[in-house]
Amino acid sequence: MNDYYADLGVSRDAPAEEIKRAYRRQARKLHPDVNPGPEAEAEFKKISQAYEVLSDPNKRQQYDMGSDPFGGGQTGFGGNFSFTDIMDAFFGAGAGAQAGPRSRVQHGQDALVPLQIDLSTAVFGGAEELVFDTAVLCETCHGDGARPGTGRRTCDICHGSGQVQQVQRSFLGQVMTTRACGACNGYGEIIESPCVDCAGEGRRRDRRTLKIKVPAGVDTGTRIQLTGEGEVGPGGGPNGDLYVEVRVRKHQTFQRRGDDLHCSVELPMTAAALGANLPLETLDGVRDVEIKAGTQAGDVVTLKGLGVTHLRSSQRGDLLVHANVRTPSNLTDEQRDLLRQLATARGEERPEGNFQRADKGLFGKLRDAFK
- Enumerate residues 6+ apart whose C-beta is below 8 A from 203: 108, 135, 136, 137, 138, 143, 231, 232, 233, 234, 235, 236
Residue 184 annotated as lining a ligand binding site: yes
Confidence of residue 93 (pLDDT cuts 50, 70, 90): very low
The answer to whether the 100-146+199-249 and 255-370 domains have the same CATH topology is yes
At 160 the three-state DSSP class reads coil
In degrees rounded to 5, what are phi and psi of residue 301? -105, 125
All structural domains of the chain with their residue ranges: 4-91, 100-146+199-249, 152-191, 255-370
| More confident: 230 or 56 | 230
What is the per-residue pLDDT across 41-76, written as a single tens digit (0 to 9) for each? 788 888 888 888 888 887 887 777 777 766 544 444
| More confident: 27 or 321 | 321
Architecture of domain 255-370: Sandwich (2.60)
Residue 198 annotated as lining a ligand binding site: yes
| More confident: 351 or 89 | 351
Residue 126 DSSP class: E
CATH assignment of 4-91, among 1.10.10.60, 3.40.190.80, 3.30.70.1290, 1.10.287.110 = 1.10.287.110
- Its pTM stands at 0.63
The average confidence (pLDDT) of the chain is 84
Confidence of residue 170 (pLDDT cuts 50, 70, 90): low
Percent of the chain predicted with pLDDT > 90: 49
Of 175-184, 229-238, 290-299, the one with minimum mean pLDDT is 175-184
- Enumerate residues 6+ apart whose C-beta is below 8 A from 61: none
Q: What is the pLDDT of residue 124?
A: 96
In degrees rounded to 5, what are phi and psi of residue 244? -105, 120
Confidence of residue 2 (pLDDT cuts 50, 70, 90): confident
Residue 263 annotated as lining a ligand binding site: no
CATH 2.60.260.20 fits 100-146+199-249, yes or no: yes
List for the chain the helix, strand, coil content (%; round to 5). Answer: 25, 30, 45
Full DSSP string of 73-122: S--TT-SEEEHHHHHHHHH-TTSSSPSSPPPS--PPPPEEEEEEE-HHHH
- Beta strands 319-326 and 300-303: pairing type? antiparallel
